[in-house]
Structure 1
Amino acid sequence: MTATTAPPRHIVLTGATGQIASLMVRHLTPHHRLTLTSRTPRRTLRWPGIRHLACDYDDMASIVDAFRGADALFVVTNDPTRPEHDRNIVRAAVEVSVSHIVKLSAAAVRDGAAHDLITEWQRTNEDRIKSSGIPWTMIQPRSFMSHALAWAPSIRSSGTTHALHPHSRNACIAPEDVAEVSARVLGEARHHSHSYQVTGPQALSAHEQSAVLAEVLGRPLTCQELSREEAHLTHARKYSPVMADALIASTERQLAGAKADVTDTVERLTGRPATTFAQWATRHKHRFVGERRPPRSAEPCPANGGVAGTPRLRCG
C-alpha cells in the first residue's frame, strides 16, 4: 500500500525540525513535491529535491511566501504560549487558497475533563481550522513512545527510569505511525472533515515500559516513582510554570484512566498493525545505550534524533 495514488502535489510541512514532519518525508517524496518550513534552518534536514525554508511565524509575508502554491498543508506547532503563530498559519493558508489542511493535534481534545493549557490550545487550533473554510483533517495522537527517550541518561548512568504515577497507563504511539497516517491522509478528499484518534496497540504504564526496555537492553532497570512536587520541578526545569502545570494535569488524567483506550486507526489507514512499544524500543535501542545511529539502510524510516521537540507537547 502506498501513501497516496493521487497525481503529484505540492505539499508544505510545517515543524520541519520536529519528529513527525521529518518522518513523513520518506512517505511523501516518491509521490509529491515538498516544502518544509521551520522557524530556524537546520543543516541536517537537507534532502535532495526538497525545499526547506526558515519561516518566521510572526511574519505573515514570510508564511504566505512559504505556503504559496501549496495544494496541501501539514500543520504542527509547538508553543501554546504563542497562539499568534497558529492564527497566522491559518490566515496564510486561507490567503493562498490551500486545498487541504492536516493538523497534528492531540487525543486529549476529545476528553471533556481536560482543560489544561495545552489541550485548550489544541481545541482552539482545531476550531480555527474548521471555521476557515478550508477542507481539514485532524490527527489526534496519544503520547509518543519517544517520550521514553528522556530516560536514556538515567538508564545509562544508574539503570533507573522515573515517573509520576508509574502504574497508570497510556496507549502511547510510535511517532513513525503518526507520520505514516498523516502522510496517507494529506491531500486525499475522502479524509476531509475527519478526526482520527491514533494510539498504539496497547496501553502501558511507565513501569511496564521499563520492563520492556530492560528486556530489550538486556539489563535490569528500576522504575522510581516521583512525587508530584518532584515531577513538577522536573518539568519546570524545561518549561514555564504554566506549561509544567499543564503537564502535571495531563498525568493526573492518565491516573484516572483517561488515556488507556486503544483504537485501530493505524491499522485501518495503513493496512498494518500499530507498532508495539517493544518494536519501537528495539528499533531505537542505540539511542538508549548511547551508540551511534545505525546506517540509514538498516532503519525502517529516518528519525530526527531529538529527545524532545514536538512530542514533548503531545499530552494526549
Structure 2
Amino acid sequence: MTAPAPRRIVLTGATGQIAPLVARHLTSRHRVVLTSRTPWRGAPRPGVTHVTCDYDVYESLVDVFRGADALFVVTNDPTRPEHDRNVVRAAVEASVGHLVKLSAAAVLDSAAHDLITEWQRANEERVKESGIPWTMVQPRSFMSHALGWAPGIRSSGITHALHPHSRNACVAPEDIAEVSALLLGDTGHHFRSYQLTGPQPLSAHEQSAVLSRVLGRPLRCRELTPEEAHTRYTRRYSPAMADALIASAGRQLAGAKAQTTDTVERLTGRPATTFAQWAAGHRDRFA
C-alpha cells in the first residue's frame, strides 16, 4: 500500500504552548511551517520551517498559508480581534484545505459571557462561515497553568488560588497537541467539535497536594480574595482580561468546569493524562 503523500501543514502560535507540541507529532510525516508574530530565537527544529508574520497585515499571511493542506489556528489576544479576522480572511484567499481551531470548552456554557468566551465564540462562527472545512478543538483549562505557582513553591512552599476548593477537569497540553495533530487534514473530522478534558476534575488544593507528593515536600494552598486575584491578574493582563478570569473562576465555583469527557482516549487510543502524570513529567519546572 502506498503511504499517504506528505501534507503541508501550517501552525500559528509558534511561541505558545500547543503549536510546538503539535509539530512534534507531524514532522516525521508532513512538511510543517510554524508561524509567530515575533522571530523565532530558539534552536532550529528538524523538519520545521519558522516564519514571522505580521497578523495586522493579512496579505503577509496569505503568502505563508498558500498551498497549506491544513492550518492550525491559535490566537491569544481577545483585545486584538483583527488578528483573528485576518487569519481567516487570509486562509480563504490562500485556499487552505482545512482549518483546525484551538478554541475553549467554555463556548459550550450558556452562562459564560465574559470577554474571553465571547471572543472564542465569535472566532468559531467566523471559521464556520469561511467556507473552509473546519474542526474545533475545545479544551478545558491547561494543566500547565500550575506552572504559575513554581516561583512560590520554590521560595516559600505556597500556592495561591481564587476558590481553591472548586474543581476543574483540566487537560494536559500534550494531550491537546496529540489530538490536534490527528485532526489536521483528516476529512473524517471535518465539521466536528471536540471537547477535551483531563480524566478527573481537581481543585487547586488537590493539585497542590499532588505536587507536594511529586516534589516530596509540604506545600500549602492559600486562598486569594477576589481583590487579590484581580491584582495578580492585572500584573500580566489588561483589566478587561482580569475581569474575565474572575468571572471564569466564579463559574468554576458553581461547578461548570467539573464535567469530564472521554474524547482524548477515543481519539488517541490511550487514557487522558492525569495531573499526577503531568506533574511528574514537569517536576524539574517546580523543583
Fold shared per TM-score above 0.5:
yes
| Structure 1 segments of 4+ aligned residues over 3 angstroms from their partners | none
**Secondary structure of 1:196's partner?**
strand
Quote the residue 1:266 is aligned against.
264
Quote the residue 2:180 is aligned against.
182
- Tell me which of 57, 62, 65 is aligned to 1:64: 62
Inter-partner Cα distance in structure 1 for 2:4 and 2:136? 20
Matched-pair contact (CA < 8 Å) for 2:56–2:82 = yes
Quote the residue 2:73 is aligned against.
75
- Tell me which of 233, 252, 255 is aligned to 2:253: 255
Quote the residue 1:229 is aligned against.
227
Quote the residue 1:137 is aligned against.
135
Quote the residue 2:196 is aligned against.
198
**Secondary structure of 2:42's partner?**
helix
Question: Following TM superposition, by how much is the alpha carbon of 1:115 offset from its aligned partner in structure 2, in angstroms?
Answer: 0.2
Question: Following TM superposition, by how much is the alpha carbon of 1:43 offset from its aligned partner in structure 2, in angstroms?
Answer: 1.9
Matching residue's letter, 2:144: S
Quote the residue 1:151 is aligned against.
149
Where does 1:80-119 land on structure 2 (aligned, <5 Å)?
Answer: 80-119=78-117
Quote the residue 2:273 is aligned against.
275
**Secondary structure of 2:60's partner?**
helix
Task: Provide the alpha-carbon RMSD of the alignment.
Answer: 0.8
Inter-partner Cα distance in structure 2 for 1:102 and 1:87? 15
- 1:184-230, Cα deviation, whole Å (9 max, x unpaired): 00000010010000000000000000000000000000000000000
Quote the residue 2:244 is aligned against.
246
Matched-pair contact (CA < 8 Å) for 2:27–2:46 = no
Percent sequence identity over aligned pairs: 75
- Tell me which of 1, 8, 11 is aligned to 2:9: 11
Quote the residue 1:311 is aligned against.
none
Inter-partner Cα distance in structure 1 for 2:269 and 2:70? 23
Question: Following TM superposition, by how much is the alpha carbon of 1:48 offset from its aligned partner in structure 2, in angstroms?
Answer: 2.4
Inter-partner Cα distance in structure 2 for 1:147 and 1:112? 24
Inter-partner Cα distance in structure 2 for 1:147 and 1:110? 21
Question: Please, which runs of 5 or more residues in structure 2 have no aligned partner?
Answer: none
Question: Following TM superposition, by how much is the alpha carbon of 1:45 offset from its aligned partner in structure 2, in angstroms?
Answer: 5.3
Inter-partner Cα distance in structure 1 for 2:162 and 2:45? 39
Matching residue's letter, 1:285: R
**Secondary structure of 1:44's partner?**
coil
Greater relative contact order (Cα < 8 A, sep 6+): 1
Matched-pair contact (CA < 8 Å) for 1:45–1:52 = no
Question: Please, which runs of 5 or more residues in structure 1 have no aligned partner?
Answer: 290-316
**Secondary structure of 1:197's partner?**
strand
Inter-partner Cα distance in structure 2 for 1:46 and 1:109? 36
Inter-partner Cα distance in structure 2 for 1:11 and 1:196? 20
Matched-pair contact (CA < 8 Å) for 1:103–1:138 = yes
Matched-pair contact (CA < 8 Å) for 2:139–2:176 = yes
Inter-partner Cα distance in structure 1 for 2:275 and 2:136? 24
